Amino acid sequence: MSITASAQKSGLINSGEVIKEGIQLHDSSEYKKALILFDKVNRSDTNYVWALYQKALTCEADSQYTQAIKYCKEGLALKEMREYEPDLYNTYGNTLSDSKLYEQAIKVFDAAIAKYPHYSLLHFNKGVVLLQIEKSRDAELEFQKALLINPYMYSAHYQLSLAALQQGKLIPAFMSSVAYLFVNPEGKYFSNAINILSQISKSTDEVLKLKNERKETPDANYQMMEEIILSKIALDKQYKPIIVLDDVLSRQIQVLFEKLEYDAGSKDFYIQYYLPYYKKVYKDGKFEPFINHAFSNAKVDVIQDYLKKNKKSMEGFINEAADY
């Protein structure tokens, strides 16, 4: 007998346990059953706002957008359990976006960010909406804010790469995609990030079109790096890999880590946020563990052999990176 069934039999309901059971059903995609449990928590219960939040999440997952919005509004209007307010705002904005009400979604995120400026998910999801309506520069700024708050928000690195690429910022897009692979090599955007790196590395027509149509001209440092990457100098036999793996992407990443110049006075986000660590990896002779970790999800024999033979040193390298 489940906790809920036992409680019902005795005429009492432990709302916290009921909600936890509902969350388990939600996580198993049994949305209708989850909602039945959440509905058992009544308005006078101290966990009512928590139940409303879970109902909103479940309705959004079940594509019941009107209901999800209703529960968000109700939860936001109440005075109890204010710790759920940023999450309710986040779900409210996401559901409006799901409903293709993008401008309304942005207004909700703006109101939430005004109250909770350090809540990274609000910046991230506002950025996702801005990308959908092709405001890539504004989206880029939101993803950057999210990452300054939480560097381990994996998807923000990937979305930032997309926002940069859409503006023809090839080197920033490249650096962000590398970062995504490094911080979350088994993530859901693994293939997408590799595709971005591959397109830039191979100077595809689509990449060159984005470059030629961009509105802003990159500075001399970026321009030099673009020329090196797009001309495929690092793919020439004369350019020697410093690791066992010999691949188009690892060669292009190597040349970027080697040649892109760090300027302490630069106000560029990518130079200050990503490049110091990339330079440190290259300078300290840690490029091989870096690459093998970043591409550890790839079914490539050279990579898998390296990981098997260097388990202990890889653990140390990853822990060191986490402390950086």
Handedness of CA 72, 74, 75, 79 (dihedral sign): positive
Q: What percent of the chain has pLDDT over 90?
A: 94
10 pLDDT tier (thresholds 50, 70, 90): very low
Question: What's the average model confidence in pLDDT over 269-287?
Answer: 98
Given a cut of 60, whether residue 228 has pLDDT beyond it is yes
12 pLDDT tier (thresholds 50, 70, 90): low
Given a cut of 80, whether residue 9 has pLDDT beyond it is no
- Tell me the pLDDT tens digit for each residue of 65-102: 999 999 999 999 998 888 999 999 999 999 999 999 99
Cα separation, 291 vs 257, in Å, equals 12
Which run of H or of E encompasses 125?
helix 120-132
13 pLDDT tier (thresholds 50, 70, 90): confident
Question: What's the average model confidence in pLDDT over 268-279?
Answer: 98
Cα separation, 5 vs 19, in Å, equals 13
Closest by Cα among 119, 118, 94 to 106: 94
Put residue 281 in one of left, alpha, beta given phi > 0 → left and psi -120 to 50 → alpha: alpha
Question: What's the average model confidence in pLDDT over 258-284?
Answer: 97
Torsion of CA 262, 190, 146, 136, to 10 degrees: 80
Question: What's the average model confidence in pLDDT over 163-176?
Answer: 98
Q: What mean pLDDT is reported for the chain? A: 95
Quick one: pLDDT at residue 324?
Answer: 83
Q: 161, 183 in Cβ contact below 8 A?
A: no
- Tell me the pLDDT tens digit for each residue of 15-50: 999 999 999 999 999 999 999 999 999 999 999 999
Torsion of CA 147, 214, 234, 250, to 10 degrees: 30
Quote the tokens at residue 319: 């822990």
Put residue 216 in one of left, alpha, beta given phi > 0 → left and psi -120 to 50 → alpha: beta
Q: Report the 10 Å Cβ neighbour count for 102.
A: 16
Quick one: pLDDT at residue 323?
Answer: 85
Q: What percent of the chain has pLDDT over 70?
A: 96
Question: What's the average model confidence in pLDDT over 151-170?
Answer: 97
Cα separation, 267 vs 118, in Å, equals 21
Quote the tokens at residue 195: 């595709």
Given a cut of 60, whether residue 264 has pLDDT beyond it is yes
- Tell me the pLDDT tens digit for each residue of 239-251: 999 999 999 999 9
Quick one: pLDDT at residue 2?
Answer: 53
